[in-house]
Structure 1
């Protein structure tokens, strides 16, 4: 069944920018590639597609991998085997964009990690005092997603849990927004000299909403400048 998870939302370059990842890293996760003479299949796709469009589910799943990212230490083979196991057992094409592995199927995740030979630093769940708990990176990712049933319906692009900035496939074509208002639009108005209180009234937002939007845009633009340098 085709759902919003399958919707092509971003170009690869735009998705990488929103995720604050090098585009080459995201492309490698989506399309695979050859490194040191070894050819690797994609992690997030069943097979390479040759395109540069990124679906909503691929964007969300890349958000999880971003929590674990280690330069030159991405275990392509093991992660691919792990995700394939979850795909098969859950019967869904995008298991990392599904709520169940984080909430009610931790035992399945635990077994899939072991079966795939995934190193502990990449585990999504860990056994603690006889209980299976989400590891730090997977818990942080889970908390950044807005879940509607088992569906990933939104993603908070900032680490601060108080932020009201969201990326949603049904709002502003997937661009960052606060309560439906583009953060870029708010930032442009502020950059032209409008104060926070005026912007809150103009867009029918609270002052904290405006501040979150501006903080996000300033951080994103600073990150883009640093990468360009």
Structure 2
């Protein structure tokens, strides 16, 4: 089995963790990933092919939620992206089409995405690729996402969850998938600061810069449960 592809299937986070790590309102990850019911009406998932009731999100689901969060920040109704997600899964034969870099950066990938967008009639504000000066380029939320994610053979393997803190990274194979700065969990750093340890001491202990210690503390403050 391909280890990188298998990583996308790895159950990594609870829905609550996804909300916390990506700065989403409580309940958002569950709605996007597994759908919801409101006023007696059932709304199908955006990310999963169908509702499963599974409480854990895979790494692939977390990665795709990270991209959708960029559109959320722009005030876009994410539920409208569901038809495009379903078609992309079919066209790419991948459960996690948004977690594969080739779907966005290669000419073939951009053409595929544009065709899917046209087929489902995706609204302008939801487009994944756009036409600029006669060329297909990534839409702004996609470009920000690609710049925040590290890929191995075109598949997302780690990421920076918050663009404001580039030193903070998430790797599903390190620290139980929790945010770290150079492999040191941000929660550990923040807890030591709360306990009264000087930042200079923490910096020396973990061989981090003071800027990295400060970033870890600020990240935890803004993403605390």
Contact 1:79 1:116 in 2 (8 A): no
Distance 1:168 1:147 in 2: 11
Distance 1:64 1:29 in 2: 12
TM-score, structure 1 length as denominator? 0.88
Partner residue in 2 for 1:131: 135
Distance 2:190 2:210 in 1: 13
Q: 1:71 to 1:33 in 2, by over 3 A?
A: farther
Q: Deviations over 1:22-56 (max 9, x none)?
A: 23222111222344554332110111111211111
For structure 1, the residue ranges without an aligned partner over 5 or more in a row are: 225-229
Distance 1:110 1:46 in 2: 21
Alignment of 1:80-99 (within 5 A): 80-99=82-101
Report the count of equivalent residues: 220
Contact 1:196 1:207 in 2 (8 A): yes
SS at match of 1:153: strand
Pairwise CA distance, 1:139: 0.9
Partner residue in 2 for 1:227: none
The answer to whether residue 50 in structure 2 is matched with residue 47 in structure 1 is yes
Distance 2:43 2:73 in 1: 17
SS at match of 2:70: helix
Pairwise CA distance, 1:71: 9.8
Pairwise CA distance, 1:16: 1.2
The answer to whether residue 175 in structure 2 is matched with residue 185 in structure 1 is no
Aligned counterpart for 2:30 among listed residues 27, 31, 36 = 27
Partner residue in 1 for 2:200: 197
TM-score, structure 2 length as denominator? 0.90
Distance 1:192 1:135 in 2: 43
Contact 2:22 2:162 in 1 (8 A): no
- Runs of 4+ aligned residues of structure 1 deviating over 4 Å after TM superposition are 35-38, 70-73
Partner residue in 1 for 2:63: 60
Q: 1:210 to 1:32 in 2, by over 3 A?
A: same
Partner residue in 2 for 1:16: 19
Contact 2:161 2:170 in 1 (8 A): yes
The answer to whether residue 157 in structure 2 is matched with residue 153 in structure 1 is yes
Q: 1:50 to 1:136 in 2, by over 3 A?
A: same
Contact 2:88 2:97 in 1 (8 A): yes
